[in-house]
Amino acid sequence: MTEATGSTTKRSDLPRQAGRDPVISVRDLKVRYGERTVLDGVSLDIYQGETMVILGGSGSGKTTLLRHMEGLERPAEGSVTVKGVDLGTASRTTLTALRRSMGVSFQSAAMFNSMTVGDNVALPLLEHSTLAESTIRVMVRIKLQQVGLTHVEDLYPTQLSGGMRKRASLARALALDPEILFFDEPSAGLDPVIAAGLDDLILHLKSAFSITIVVVTHELTSAFLIADRMCMIYEGKILAVGTVDEIRSNPDPRVQQFIRREADQPSEASSRYIVGA
């Protein structure tokens, strides 16, 4: 590996979570699909109010890890505990109750295609709150505005662009003012201005409501901006966990390769590209 191009930006030390119980605690999680081991003994703690960014190459198992923390998959080996509930043994009803405090935005947006965008965002509120319908409509408009969408309530998800769908699904995840938010690549496919707006939204959420946020992202600039701590997954294992500065100065060459965006086994061409950058 070549010399470090580490930026000199110093972040003021964020409040460390020492002494607190983790909200989400993953222990020795192993996930296999057939012959293939996707996660191979992952352990990770996420504390109340922090923003954890999960980094890792495509297909490294980030979405899989997230789905286990959301309780959408039961851990076959190892354990996942969220707010003290063991997701491996929790009953269907317990899981459902737990999920009321979670907001999830999927990598594929996963909007309900048979409902309008407005109804999509309204659904959790209609189902889980006792608010009046007119209040809910106002809240839907506010949530959509937060992600930079206006006048889309009456459109169907298929009538939106990919990026708009993605943002609408963020609005839906925010609808119930959750305690824990899961974002799977929130800014993938968004233009830089909107992506920056999304970063601001996440920063606002965490400063104003001290929500626990778990974000999977490939956007390194955004990752370094919003994260309190980050972890990097590589070949089904957690390679590094730590604060932004700890990750930046992590000696592992694979971590450095990732955060400096170098291609595999730098060839003539790619090293020239890096020097030029």
Partner 1 sequence: MTLLESVGRFSIRQAEYIGRLAIQFWYCLRFSVRASPFQGRGLRWQRTLRQMGDIGVRSLPVLCLVSGATGMIMALQAGAELRRFGAMEAIVTMVGTTMTRELGPLMAAIVVIGRSGSAISAEVATMAVTEELDALRAMALDPIDFVLVPKYLAMLVMLPCLTVMSVFSGILAGGVFAYFTLDLTLLAYLSRTAEILLMRDIVSGLVKAVIFGSIIVHVSCLEGFTVSGGPVGVGHSTTSAVVKSIFLVVLADLLCTTFFYFFWR
Q: Which residues bind ligand ATP (CB under 6 A)?
A: 33, 38, 56, 58-64, 107
Task: Provide, rounded to whole angstroms, the least separation between the CB of residue 38 and ligand ATP.
Answer: 4
Cβ 34 vs Cβ 76: under 8 Å? no
Q: Which stretch binds partner 1 (CB under 8 A): 13-21, 48-56, 99-107, 191-199?
A: 99-107
Burial of 19 (0-12, 13-18, 19+ CB in 10 A): exposed
Nearest CA to 50 out of 15, 26, 83 is that of: 15
Minimum CB–partner distance for residue 66 and Mg ion (Å): 8
Supply 174's token pair: 């925010």
Binding mask 101-120 for Mg ion (x = CB under 5 A): ------x-------------
Q: Which of ligand ATP, Mg ion, partner 1, none does 38 bind, CB closer than 5 to 8 A by kind?
A: ligand ATP
Residue 64 binds: one of partner 1, Mg ion, ligand ATP, none (C-beta under 5 to 8 A by kind)? ligand ATP
Interface with partner 1 (CB under 8 A), residue from 143, 165, 172, 206: 172
Closest CA to 47 of 69, 88, 19, 27: 19
Where does this chain bind partner 1 (CB under 8 A)?
67, 70-72, 92, 96-97, 99-100, 102, 104, 106, 108, 110-113, 123-124, 126-128, 169, 172, 176
